Each structure stands twice: as structure tokens, then as C-alpha cells.
């Protein structure tokens, strides 16, 4: 028998190139499922002649029937058109869901999509890390000779990830000097829990202090304020000298404690919408 060209085949069947693919795929997957034309037609609510016409290229399925055809043949639309799916392969559970989805009415499919959108939003909100907003003061805590400028409450918000470490803090100060080496280093930022005038530190706790017009980070002991570095003497004060406790130093902020710009912007949007 003479070999037919693609053009002659299309002329004989009356099918365009994409229709011939659908014809082949419907027949291929129907036979793979062991399903008769009559059974497929009955499941789709059409005549068996319609399925025969599809597979012989005399007509093509209505677009609205494509999801149902895929559901009955247990395939995706990509497989029906012999295309590579741009998405990862579905597992059995996902395939079963899509098959069931294809059998729903248009109204029920919209309801499922609306529910999925709501659930996705809930998942996204659940995945958003909790942030804390602390006040970062522009005055450094001297771990050495001190800062001669007056203490002023100039501050700006600093966004950090919520954790056990940041939970009790409300302020952030930077460290200046080396008197608290090797625990606190020049340029580090420390978390500070602001205390009321009636609160005190326990011996051995680290505090942020104002002495006169200077601010310090020191270890409090009953006999004075101590440095970790042995070259620095104990700071002791007379009754007339003014020593003000800013707060308790809780620890050092690490790079991973700072919120990313993306999370900060998302947090701000949520605050605006609330």
C-alpha cells in the first residue's frame, strides 16, 4: 500500500494537526484503560458515534468536555495534547483530586477554587515569621572611655524576628569600646529591657547605664560597675553622683535576628490592612 503523506492524511480525515493528536490520544488512553467507546460515551453523556468520530478525526470534542474526558481516561490535559507538563508530576493523591475536580459542575469548581484560595492565604499567613518592633537608639553604650554627648532619646524602629531572646527586649543600643571584651565587641548591637526607676539589677547582671552625660554597658555588682577587660578599673560613685539605670542587657543581636526587608514590607502591609 502506498505511504500516505501527512497532507493526504489530513485531507482524508478532515482533521487539523492538533486534532489528529487528540484523536490518537483519546484512542490510545481509552484502549489503555480497557474502556469501550460505548462506555466512554455513556460516562460523558454522549453517543458512542461521537467518540468514534473523534477517534477517526471526523470531529473534535467540545472544549467543555475536555476535563471530563481527562477524568475518565485518568490523564491530564497535557497528556491529551501530547505535551510536556511545565509543572512537576502529580502524585496519586493529586491526580485523584484533579480527576474529581473535572467531574464537578462549573459552579462547584468555582466554589472549590474559592476555598483553595482562602486556604492558601491562611497557609501564607501561617508561614509569615512573627516580627517584633524594637526601638534602636542612636546613642552608643560605651564600653570604655564613654560618650561625652548628652543622652537624647533619638530612636528609630528596628524589626527583628520574634524569639525567646527578643521577647523581653524593647530597645537596642550599639556597643562602643572594648572594656567588655571578649563578650561584647565594638559595633555590636545589644538587646536592652528598659526598667522603671523602681526596678534593680541583681549582682552579676549586665546593664545599660547613664553616668552623668555618658552611657555605659557594665556588669553590676554592689561595689560598682565592672568591666570584663582587666585593664579597666571598677567604676564607683559617691552619693551625690547621678547614676541612672537604662535597663537590663539581654544579649547580642546576631545577623539572623534581623528581619529581612521582604518580611518587613509584608509586616507593614499587614499593619496597614488591619
Over range 66-89, report the average pLDDT: 81
Domains of the chain, CATH where assigned: 6-126 (1.10.260.40), 131-257 (2.10.109.10)
pLDDT of residue 214: 83
Contacts of 74 (CB under 8 A, 6+ apart): 29, 33, 95, 99
Give the tens place of pLDDT for each residue, 127-153. 567 899 999 988 787 665 444 334 455
User: At residue 35, does pLDDT exceed 80?
Assistant: yes
User: At residue 266, does pLDDT exceed 50?
Assistant: yes
Give the tens place of pLDDT for each residue, 211-243. 877 889 999 999 999 999 999 999 998 877 888
Residue 194's region, left for phi above 0, alpha for psi from -120 to 50, else beta, is beta
Contacts of 161 (CB under 8 A, 6+ apart): 129, 130, 131, 132, 256, 257, 258, 259, 263
Of the candidates 73, 70, 66, 68, the residue with the CA atom closest to the CA atom of residue 33: 73
- The answer to whether the CB of 192 falls within 8 A of the CB of 171 is yes
- 133 three-state secondary structure: strand
pLDDT of residue 9: 32
Kind and range of the H or E run holding 160: strand 155-161
pLDDT of residue 148: 37
Residue located via cell numbers 569600646:
177
- Global pTM exceeds 0.85: no
User: At residue 247, does pLDDT exceed 80?
Assistant: yes
Give the tens place of pLDDT for each residue, 167-214. 999 999 999 889 999 999 999 999 999 887 778 899 999 999 988 778
- Whole-angstrom CA distances from 221 to 191, 224, 228, 236 are 20, 5, 12, 10
DSSP summary character for residue 183:
T
User: At residue 40, does pLDDT exceed 90?
Assistant: yes
Amino acid at each position: 500500500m502506498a505511504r500516505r503523506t501527512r497532507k493526504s492524511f489530513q485531507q482524508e480525515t478532515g482533521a487539523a494537526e492538533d486534532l489528529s493528536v487528540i484523536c490518537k490520544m483519546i484512542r490510545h488512553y481509552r484502549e489503555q484503560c480497557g474502556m469501550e467507546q460505548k462506555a466512554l460515551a455513556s460516562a460523558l453523556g454522549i453517543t458512542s458515534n461521537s467518540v468514534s468520530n473523534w477517534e477517526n478525526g471526523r470531529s473534535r470534542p467540545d472544549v467543555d468536555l475536555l476535563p471530563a474526558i481527562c477524568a475518565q481516561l485518568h490523564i491530564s490535559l497535557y497528556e491529551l495534547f501530547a505535551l510536556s507538563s511545565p509543572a512537576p508530576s502529580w502524585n496519586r493523591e493529586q491526580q485523584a483530586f484533579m480527576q474529581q475536580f473535572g467531574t464537578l459542575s462549573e459552579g462547584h469548581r468555582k466554589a472549590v477554587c474559592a476555598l483553595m484560595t482562602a486556604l492558601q492565604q491562611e497557609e501564607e499567613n501561617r508561614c509569615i515569621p512573627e516580627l517584633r518592633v524594637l526601638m534602636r537608639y542612636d546613642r552608643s553604650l560605651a564600653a570604655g572611655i564613654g560618650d561625652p554627648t548628652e543622652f537624647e532619646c533619638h530612636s528609630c524602629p528596628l524589626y527583628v524576628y520574634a524569639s525567646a531572646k527578643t521577647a523581653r527586649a524593647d530597645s537596642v543600643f550599639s556597643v562602643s569600646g572594648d572594656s567588655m571584651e571578649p563578650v561584647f565587641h565594638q559595633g555590636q548591637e545589644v538587646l536592652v529591657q528598659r526598667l522603671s526607676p523602681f526596678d534593680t539589677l541583681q549582682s552579676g547582671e549586665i546593664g545599660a547605664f547613664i553616668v552623668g552625660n555618658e552611657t555605659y554597658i557594665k556588669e553590676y555588682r554592689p561595689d560598682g560597675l565592672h568591666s570584663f577587660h582587666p585593664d579597666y578599673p571598677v567604676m564607683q560613685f559617691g552619693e551625690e553622683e547621678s547614676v541612672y539605670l537604662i535597663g537590663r542587657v539581654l544579649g547580642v543581636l546576631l545577623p539572623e535576628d534581623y528581619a529581612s526587608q521582604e518580611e518587613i514590607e509584608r509586616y507593614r502591609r499587614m499593619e496597614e490592612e488591619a
